[in-house]
């Protein structure tokens, strides 16, 4: 359980510590733009397209009341809007406003820049291997696309 001579820890400790590291960087990037980490995550999720409240709650892993509060606070800031679902008049979709899309792009770029620094001590081959292994863990656990790869974000409104 402890560190070996190389500072290596087991997979559980490494995953938990990596989560803390990533959460910390995400929180710092959020503060840079006056966002909470949850608001930053919401903006990133909405970059490609608007989402219905149900699918948004599922993607973010939030209960309905928590999601409603998050969306309400973000609407008040003028970053997202509620709109009627064209397929179901009773349903509501959440999408970025122009102001929200501009902020989302800046926040996304800053977050990517900060995250890119984390594995800077790894060689190119090690970085690629890390990406392959983490991709498998994410896929095996069916993690929703709360943050997409740079270059895949092109549908922001």
Q: Any idea what the CATH number is for the domain that residue 103 is in? A: 1.10.10.10
Q: In terms of Cα–Cα distance, which of 75, 77, 93 is closest to 85?
A: 93
Global pTM reads: 0.83
* 151 pLDDT tier (thresholds 50, 70, 90): low
Domain-embedded: residue 112:
yes
Tally the domains of the chain.
1
Ramachandran quadrant class, 151 (left: phi over 0; alpha: psi -120 to 50; beta: rest): left
Domain-embedded: residue 91:
yes
Domain-embedded: residue 100:
yes
Domain-embedded: residue 131:
yes
Domain-embedded: residue 145:
no
More confident residue, 4 or 43: 43
Range of the domain at 110: 22-140
Domain-embedded: residue 9:
no
- Mean pLDDT over the full length of the chain: 89
* Range of weakest confidence among 5-19, 104-118, 123-137: 5-19
């Amino acid at each position: 359980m402890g560190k070996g001579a190389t500072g290596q820890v087991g997979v559980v400790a490494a995953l938990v510590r990596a989560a803390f590291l990533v959460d910390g960087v995400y929180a710092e990037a959020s503060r840079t733009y006056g966002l909470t980490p949850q608001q930053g995550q919401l903006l990133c999720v909405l970059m490609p397209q608007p989402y219905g409240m149900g699918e948004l709650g599922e993607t973010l892993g939030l209960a309905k009341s928590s999601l409603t509060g998050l969306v309400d606070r973000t609407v008040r800031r003028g970053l997202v809007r509620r709109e009627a679902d064209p397929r179901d008049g009773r349903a509501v979709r959440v999408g970025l406003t122009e102001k929200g899309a501009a902020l989302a792009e800046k926040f996304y770029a800053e977050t990517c820049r900060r995250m890119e620094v984390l594995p800077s001590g790894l060689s190119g081959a090690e970085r690629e291997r890390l990406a392959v292994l983490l991709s498998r863990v994410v896929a095996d656990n069916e993690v929703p696309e709360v943050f997409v790869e740079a270059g895949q974000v092109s549908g922001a409104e």
